[in-house]
Amino acid sequence: MSSPTVKLNNGIEIPLVGLGTWQSPPEEVSAAVSYAIKEAGYRHVDCAWAYGNEKDVGKGIRDSGVPRSEIFITSKLWGTWHSRVEECLDQTLTNLGTDYLDLYLVHWPVPLNPKGNHPVFPTLPDGKRDVDHSWDLKDTWKQMEAVLAKGKVKAIGVSNFSEAKLEEIIPTAEVIPAVNQLEIHVYNPQHELVSYLKSKGIVPQAYSPLGSTKSPLLSDEVVTGVAQKHSLQTSDVLLGYLVAKGVVVLPKSVTPARIASNLTGAVAASKKLDSDDIKKLDGLAAEGKQKRFITPPWPVDLGFANWPKLL
């Protein structure tokens, strides 16, 4: 089974289903990545410097035996490296064992103190995260454009950017972001933001498309009803709903059976869901089920709707 693809604004095709690797333990992720590529047919792996498992992901990619050129690899720039983009990228390339990325993203629109008390999550004496308020996101983006121009990455994009945060970089950008990776699922569909992205030619990507651990999405009666109607699993519907709308999904698993079914189920459901199904699923959040699962305590206003108030 292979994933359908969507074209990015630079003409590159990205598979609509990728393997997420966030919170995948290093000792398990190599086997998971290798299985996903070699046995299940995945050709898209989503990584990040901050996940702390890129060496193991790289081993899994090599162990698969599939040529690097056939695999779409994404990674992300962490907040403590906004003023040193190429340096962070070089660490990722070394850890993954490759000389280029297919896509490089700014992980969060939050520059952190590069000389703080922790390399990943520097904090202030009051416990709040140590944000570098002197650094401008448009300068991060200029450095992203520079590594693109050097050929170290084939496309650049963002993650966790609201429309307001995108408007901080787009007016001075020479390259419009290719993607915006967000928490998108039936309880947090972000319809207005997705429409904005499409108007700019930016492809939306969904992390946590199944919700989080012990997710209520998998037992939602509307979703399970749609699944039963089409003889699908609930997870198939949650993934296929997004794929049908042109949203790249990045389900994470280290379980072989689940890795395989996430791809086959997403593709099957994307073809079976009808306009009534999509309409029902589109309306769940507005009917009182709106919920985000991923809301790190950043001490800055990200510009998102339905985000917890700043402390």
Please list, in sequence order, all residues whose beta carbon lies within 8 angstroms of the beta carbon of residue 115, skipping any fewer than 6 positions away: none
List Cα–Cα distances, 84 to 97, 112, 123, 132, 191, in angstroms: 20, 12, 20, 13, 34
CA 195, distance to chain mean position in Å, is: 18
Give the whole-angstrom CA distance, residue 156 versus residue 145: 7
**249 C-beta neighbours (distance < 10 Å), count:** 29
Contact 228, 176 (CB under 8 A): no
Active site residues: 51
Q: Is 77 helix (H, G, I), strand (E, B) or coil?
A: strand
Q: What is the bridge-based pairing of β-strands 203-207 and 19-20?
A: unpaired
Residue environment code for 253-270, b if the CB has 16+ CB neighbours within 10 A, otherwise e: bbeeebbbbbbbbbbbbb
